[in-house]
Structure 1
């Protein structure tokens, strides 16, 4: 495979399209001619004050200067680390480990970055500084382009050293599949400390297209993002499932291509956004050079069961590693093969940087390999995401993939997003999980969702509690905040002590199943009751004065009215 250089492609764009817009902001535009001049000026600063291969910091502000500094660093052979000033207090270890002494900042009311020293308060105490472990003799093919820290959503954040050479094929594949040209306008959506920004920036600037760079106030999911897409005539945007769910497409938008990244893609999102643009799903990890799979334009009718990850991009391949025996589960499709996704080849980054050296991503045979920890399913020649291996849960004696249940819930047209957790019926704690809980967004009722899941899943996979919520809580990193979901269930108002016995029974059943419209005519088990919640309901009946009630009484009761009818008159 011929070597493809993002640096050469950007140089070609500057020469071929000097008068085209390279960067657009709320205050104006920068042409490719001016952009090229700014990059050259910044390289001159780098070469006069740093050595080849020396890491530099780039203050991660949403300015053209940050983009200029990133491209200049790549061209000058100075690997970089984006540093968000809001997180600077947590960067001392990172800065010291990489030996960063120089920081690129963009002064107020300027588009050009300026080099200076890293602020003393960012470097930490002198005694905490260590010899940079990354300065070890790597092969020539291991030229580092940048370091980036993982979000830490599955543990402690890790510093990944990403090689520059594999970027070329990744970016070229995106530019070709997304049909970028000089009339394209990409919204720079991802935070600069997230690796998703790298593809947004580079697929644009290697194609002679325009990168739209705006403050975060313009990017909030919902009305703010909707207005931005319309006002700035954005043609290409890659964003998160959260943003795509919370934002409505309009005919006033100029969108040509919309890409889902950073989380599982839901069927409702495909239906919504494919109505105004070609809609794509993407998958990748920081450890494997940002993006490994990118789908073609998706047809909602072809995504009724689940959304494929797409075809390979970049220089790499994949394997499916067998799952631990305890983690095996029935594939979604009868012809499916399930396993842990393992990425191989040149797409794999160098490794994790640690205080005492670098943990290389290599297999026993010395080839590049990275185990993603993601469970996927191969069906009909396509890859489908299932779940994180470390998110599997055991409830009621069964080991379950919550992602499989979430995907099944989202097949119902009235469900936009779903999250499944393992909790306790009594207090939503996970230490003694006896309940599978499904939180969902959408117009479907909990009864609709339960009936749908009972049709498409084995009975042991159907959640006991199905809760319709108004909004899905997300962390700062754009991940679903499952702790906040559990807390919201704990805050559910208990039945009042002055309610009638019937009201208290109905209140208990609503809390135990999530079905808000439960009536006395309902059978407890038909609205979600199970063995664990039956014990909880028996406890409520005892509190109401029926001291000799047992599980058999609940099992035999035709409906809740029959249960209430047996309560003593003196029940409290």
Structure 2
């Protein structure tokens, strides 16, 4: 009972008639879902999938995505999630680095080129082949080998400090303790609805899936556009009657708390939870705060219900896990003293896929556990209160959290420096929560436009890692020891500080027609001095969270219902202004 298939089947046996998956088009009950998963699993076994074999999955958010992941696990394999929205270069790297035995995709996802054999799951002929297979549970003897807790469950790629992403290999061994922790704190069950918010390329998505499908609750799947912080997310929470949601602080900060999740449960994770968020979300609902790196089974600590908006802790270790606060000599520090956080216990990952040196550096011997046990050196700083509660105190290295995403600035710097015109590159984060963004600084050996450098980064890295702005310097400021003085780098967003004080408020713009007002709103949202009708919102440095804010500001200013999709698809600000004018005249 310590693998995902065994835990899931135990829920199906008791809750077969309950709804398991809900999306915009259909609802699948537990029994029907299990039947479809079993049939696809048998097909995958026939294609050579078994324990410790890796299967890539590239599909948009839908019920079919969950069927595919569960089928991979039922077959005994481990899934490698590939977000179809990622740059082709990054997807190709993950495929070549992980070397999966098979790739599953839907017809809406373009072929990914050279790599493993691909199966198109919504192809009518393939569906007919699966439908002809038995639908009862896959027995151990049907697999290529018996599935055990130590076998691989998934591989999630994280940003790498050397410029190369690392695949974290996580086994089934921590799943039972994770499910027990979820049951003890979040208490989801039959009749509840759990939102699947996180991208499948992040381990937080597995938390959503297990919180629902290992408890008897229903997992709600909606398109990514309906999950954008702000009105889209609020509308989804209300429309589907969500009772449990795990969201990063940036989503909580941008989304209205009125009328949603009332009497339900919300959990903040992925970044530091603030007192403002606690005051906003803890009334009328149970609120928790969680912590944990990708190198463990999703998380390591949970705290709550949080009511006090004072010093917000990350709680206590999960069932079956331990968190140590240690000094440089690996000795425990006294309560209240800051040290580095180390994690041990059932949730620990195997290490980094095919990166033995990196694994040895971060997964070290546990001097407090039984012989042969390991602990993970997180690089996070923290302290323990006198009552045992843990508190997060920041990073000890160059890794940062950006709007809930874990980012190694070194990977961005490496990509910038790979441009033939760049001599030296530095990346830093400016702003907080929804306004957090990467800014790049370079010195060059030849003339180059900042926009070309952003495009160069976007060819290889996900959108959240592309610098909002790149500044070309004649030379870098340095410290006495000759190292770059990051604190002295010029702030390209300095012009925005006065802007947010109301000097360029859109409603006060003296202009005729809505085009000038839309440009002014864009300037205000992005905190930039200039924005013209021929500019593209995202090329100016905008991201999806700011796009939802832009749509809300336009709705408030013009009293028109402008969809977030219109903002996302507008090629220029002028095209966006034309859409506003069309609605005003209509």
TM-score under structure 1 length normalisation:
0.62
Secondary structure of 1:201's partner?
Answer: helix
Matches of 1:191 and 1:343 in 2, distance apart? 25
* Cα shift readout 1:253-309 (whole Å, capped 9, x = no counterpart): 445100001001101101100113100000001101111001121112xx41x2110
Matches of 2:161 and 2:319 in 1, distance apart? 25
Structure 2 runs not aligned, ≥5 long = 118-146, 402-423, 439-461, 471-489, 500-586
Displacement after TM superposition at 1:94 (Å): 2.2
Matches of 1:11 and 1:141 in 2, distance apart? 15
Q: Which has the larger radius of gyration?
A: 1
Who is 2:85 aligned against? 86
* Alignment of structure 1 residues 340-359 onto 2, 5 Å: 340-354=340-354, 359=359
Matches of 1:215 and 1:10 in 2, distance apart? 24
Matched, 1:178 2:225: no
Matches of 1:237 and 1:80 in 2, distance apart? 23
Matched, 1:120 2:113: yes
Q: Is the 8 A contact 2:364 2:377 kept in 1?
A: no
Who is 2:198 aligned against? 190
Who is 2:365 aligned against? 363
Aligned match for 1:298, one of 285, 306, 311: 306
Matched, 1:25 2:23: yes
Who is 2:285 aligned against? 277
Who is 2:315 aligned against? 310
Matches of 1:145 and 1:33 in 2, distance apart? 23
Matched, 1:339 2:359: no
TM-score under structure 2 length normalisation:
0.61
Q: Is the 8 A contact 1:233 1:254 kept in 2?
A: no
Who is 2:105 aligned against? 105
* Alignment of structure 1 residues 486-501 onto 2, 5 Å: 486-489=491-494
Secondary structure of 1:290's partner?
Answer: coil
Q: Is the 8 A contact 2:430 2:436 kept in 1?
A: no
Count of residues paired in the alignment: 397
Who is 1:61 aligned against? 60
Who is 1:39 aligned against? 37
Structure 1 runs not aligned, ≥5 long = 125-138, 326-330, 393-401, 404-430, 442-470, 495-572
Aligned match for 2:396, one of 389, 397, 418: 389
Q: Is the 8 A contact 1:79 1:145 kept in 2?
A: yes
Q: Is the 8 A contact 1:244 1:269 kept in 2?
A: yes
Secondary structure of 1:142's partner?
Answer: coil
Aligned match for 1:231, one of 235, 239, 242: 239
Relative to 1, partners in 2 of residues 1:151 and 1:60: Cα closer, same or farther, differing over 3 Å?
A: farther
Secondary structure of 2:383's partner?
Answer: strand
Displacement after TM superposition at 1:208 (Å): 1.1
The ranges of structure 1 where at least 4 consecutive aligned residues each deviate by more than 6 angstroms after the TM superposition are 355-358, 475-485, 491-494
Matches of 2:303 and 2:97 in 1, distance apart? 37
Who is 1:503 aligned against? none
Q: Is the 8 A contact 1:374 1:389 kept in 2?
A: yes
Displacement after TM superposition at 1:371 (Å): 0.4
Secondary structure of 1:390's partner?
Answer: coil
* Cα shift readout 1:489-541 (whole Å, capped 9, x = no counterpart): 266689xxxxxxxxxxxxxxxxxxxxxxxxxxxxxxxxxxxxxxxxxxxxxxx
CA RMSD of aligned residues (A): 3.9
Greater shift, 363-372 or 207-216, is seen at 363-372
Matched, 1:473 2:436: yes
Secondary structure of 1:165's partner?
Answer: helix
Relative to 1, partners in 2 of residues 1:203 and 1:236: Cα closer, same or farther, differing over 3 Å?
A: same
Matched, 1:70 2:72: no
Matches of 2:148 and 2:181 in 1, distance apart? 24
Matches of 2:219 and 2:4 in 1, distance apart? 16
Displacement after TM superposition at 1:77 (Å): 1.1
Displacement after TM superposition at 1:156 (Å): 4.2
Secondary structure of 1:172's partner?
Answer: helix
Relative to 1, partners in 2 of residues 1:154 and 1:251: Cα closer, same or farther, differing over 3 Å?
A: farther
Matches of 2:303 and 2:491 in 1, distance apart? 34
Matches of 2:343 and 2:272 in 1, distance apart? 18
Matched, 1:219 2:218: no
Q: Is the 8 A contact 2:38 2:74 kept in 1?
A: no
Relative to 1, partners in 2 of residues 1:440 and 1:68: Cα closer, same or farther, differing over 3 Å?
A: closer
Who is 1:147 aligned against? 155
Relative to 1, partners in 2 of residues 1:477 and 1:17: Cα closer, same or farther, differing over 3 Å?
A: farther
Matches of 1:351 and 1:260 in 2, distance apart? 26
Matches of 2:233 and 2:297 in 1, distance apart? 27
Secondary structure of 2:492's partner?
Answer: helix
Secondary structure of 1:228's partner?
Answer: helix
Who is 1:15 aligned against? 13
Secondary structure of 2:96's partner?
Answer: helix
Relative to 1, partners in 2 of residues 1:345 and 1:232: Cα closer, same or farther, differing over 3 Å?
A: same
Secondary structure of 1:16's partner?
Answer: helix
Q: Is the 8 A contact 2:2 2:149 kept in 1?
A: no
Who is 2:379 aligned against? 373
Displacement after TM superposition at 1:354 (Å): 3.1
Displacement after TM superposition at 1:92 (Å): 2.5
Who is 2:140 aligned against? none
Who is 2:96 aligned against? 96
Q: Is the 8 A contact 1:102 1:118 kept in 2?
A: no
